[in-house]
Amino acid sequence: MLVSARSFDEYRAMFALTDDDLRLRVLDCPGGAASFVAEAGARGTDAVAVDPQYGPGRELLGTLALREIEHKHAYVADNAERFVWDWFGGPERYTRLRAASARAFTADLAARPDRYVAGSLPDLPFADRSFDLVLSSHLLFSYGAQLSEEFHLSALLELVRVARREVRLFPVVLHTSDRRYEALDRLRAALDALGVPSRLNRVDYAFQPGGDEALVLDVADRGPLPAERPGAGAHDPVRWRHLGAGEPAADPVR
């Protein structure tokens, strides 16, 4: 799987993020070399990224992302007809934005290393309901041909476990085609049976043909999940400011 370097603006479009969403505690899983946490943090958002590549050697991720961006630029330029350019405008802007994102990620990783946590699905190093909003792009469903349906369900349950309000996933098509992941309806039914309703939302972003839908899981009213376990996240590497300050008096208007 490639090291991606998507920007804050891409995240806003992919996940239809509002200003109210950005006032919440947000997890990006997996984060790759995206600049979402860096740019959102500069705007005051309490955001963290988790990725299996944030372990030893993670300082090289930005460089690896830049190399992949350079390689992919030649591919997308030569195969421009295979992509949707409404959002990017063309291959040159695509490459420029992705490179800027990789550089912003590298700088923020050095400046705020605690915001980049090593961990992987389906076993994240966070306590239950640690985040208001969980974002996940270009792993689940995208790699449906490589990752089993059982893995998908376990991973979805883990994302739900660490969320308090919503989980948003983008896209719901395979990365090699414009087809929805074939087990999507079965997974949604399994989640619904556990008290986690879902919906598909059309968003104002696409790079793949057909890839303009996000799956939203509503976790606000759910009960306990099989994935939850006593003491989970007791050694949480992220010590949230809000834990010492108590919960806010009221949620932002949605």
Which pLDDT tens digit goes with each residue over 186-208?
999 999 999 999 999 999 999 99
Average pLDDT score, the chain: 89
- CA distances to 10, 28, 60 from 15, rounded to whole Å, are 8, 11, 27
- The yes/no answer on whether domain 8-218 falls in CATH 3.40.50.150 is yes
> How many residues in the chain?
254
**The two structure tokens encoding residue 238:** 């992220």
On whether the CB atoms of residues 87 and 207 are closer than 8 A, the answer is yes
Q: Give the confidence band of 178 by pLDDT, cuts at 50, 70, 90.
A: confident
197 cis-preceded (ω within 30 degrees of 0): no
Give the predicted TM-score (pTM) of the model: 0.88
The verdict on whether omega for the bond into residue 125 sits within 30 degrees of 0, i.e. cis, is: no
CB 173, CB 210: distance < 8 Å: yes
Confidence band of 224 (pLDDT split at 50, 70, 90): confident
Contacts of 42 (CB under 8 A, 6+ apart): none
Distance CA 184, CA 71 (A): 32
Contacts of 25 (CB under 8 A, 6+ apart): 46, 47, 130, 131, 132, 133, 240, 242
pLDDT tens by residue, 5-15: 999 999 999 99
Query: Residue 84 has which token pair?
Result: 């949707």
Q: Which two tokens stand for residue 131?
A: 């985040």
pLDDT digits (tens, 9 = 90+) for 122-148: 999 999 999 999 999 999 999 998 999
